Amino acid sequence: MHYIAMKEFILNTKITVYHIDECSDIEKKLIEAAKSATKKAYAPYSQFKVGAAVLLENGEIVIGTNQENAAYPSGLCAERTAIFSANANFPEHKVEAIAIAAFYKGKYSTDVTPCGGCRQVLLETETRFKSPIKILISRDEEIYKLDNATDLLPLHFGEEMLQ
């Protein structure tokens, strides 16, 4: 019998954690836009309201909210509604950053990160514009910052696999 030696590798993700007061003015504005967007979410089933705010290179901020549906697979996440709206309304402008916030049980939740589908869409948007997207995840008074979507989805499916 012939055995192949097992291999192992480690993936690292850099997340910078800082207080909201340490954010730049534009980051604060983006985070506040995401928090404000949660109030517009349609989440009658889960009551977990998510808002996302996308900053475009032209300074425009585009928001998105989660949109639930009784047929659960028919709903859509806040991150994707924001990215798709930005791409539909400003197709020539790259996305520089996205802020994400959630409101649940009367307070801003500390537990919200993009789902796998949203991570894939963020990565596709980075690839489309050949530019990283800064990701800001609002966690009460703390902010988690990632430098790009690849950090959220290191083993991703990309256009290179379709060659």
Q: Is residue 23 part of a domain?
A: yes
| Alpha-carbon distances, residue 150 vs 49, 86, 98, 137, 147 (angstroms) | 25, 20, 14, 15, 9
4 lies in a domain?
no
Structural domain for 32, as ranges: 16-153
Residue pLDDT, tens place only, 134-151: 999 998 789 999 999 999
Rounded to whole angstroms, the Cα distance separating 63 from 40 reads 10
How far is the C-alpha of 158 from the C-alpha of 163, rounded, in Å? 10
Q: Which residues are catalytic?
A: 79
Under DSSP, is residue 129 helix (H, G, I), strand (E, B) or coil? helix
In a domain, 11, yes or no: no
pLDDT per residue, tens digit, the chain (163 aa), is: 777 788 888 888 999 999 999 999 999 999 999 999 999 999 999 999 999 999 999 999 999 999 999 998 899 999 999 999 999 999 999 999 999 999 999 998 877 899 999 999 999 999 999 999 999 999 878 999 999 999 998 888 878 878 8
Bridge partners of residue 55, in order along the sequence: 61, 97
**Domain assignment present for 116:** yes
Does residue 144 sit within a domain? yes
pTM, full prediction:
0.92
Q: DSSP per residue over 72-109, as a string?
A: GGG-B-HHHHHHHHHHHH-TTS-EEEEEEEEEETTEE-
CATH of the domain at 28: 3.40.140.10
Q: Which residues pair with 134 in a beta bridge?
A: 97
Answer yes or no: are the C-beta atoms of 56 and 96 closer than 8 Å: yes
Per the domain annotation, does 9 fall within a domain? no
Residue 8: inside a domain? no
Number of domains in the chain: 1
